[in-house]
Amino acid sequence: MPYNEKDTAKALILMTDGAFNATVDNTQGSSTYQAKQICDNVKDTGIVVYSIAFQAPEAGQEVLKYCASGAEYYFSPESGSELAQAYKAIATSISDLRLTM
């Protein structure tokens, strides 16, 4: 199916430990600022963003909560089994999006 197909739901799953290793372009501000700008741009195009903060520090969790399209799109698993549950919940949500659009 083409990307620009009308009425096609689009989703992004963002999983990270939340630790920034480097900025993309340090003349544009902090890594946190850059990440939030990218997330805003993605969400502005209508893409649903799911965020998974796997064993992330508090600062990383804050950014990923911001990036998620809503509280129900944010997950913070601490173990492998919790991570699997998060992906299962996301798969169910995406399936529901597709069926209801």
| Domains of the chain by start residue, with CATH | 11-100 (3.40.50.410)
What value, to the nearest 5°, has the Cα angle with vertex 42 and ends 11 and 91? 15
pTM of the prediction?
Answer: 0.82
Q: Measure the CA–CA gap between 85 and 58, rounded to whole angstroms.
A: 21
Q: Which two tokens stand for residue 60?
A: 């990383």
- Give me the percent of the chain exceeding a pLDDT of 70: 84
Q: Which amino acid is at 47?
A: I
What is the predicted pLDDT for the residue at 19? Answer: 78
What is the predicted pLDDT for the residue at 17? Answer: 84
What is the predicted pLDDT for the residue at 31? Answer: 82
Lowest mean pLDDT among 2-6, 46-50, 86-90, 97-101: 97-101
Q: Measure the CA–CA gap between 70 and 11, rounded to whole angstroms.
A: 13
Q: Measure the CA–CA gap between 67 and 39, rounded to whole angstroms.
A: 5
Q: Which amino acid is at 89?
A: A
Q: What is the DSSP letter of 27?
A: G
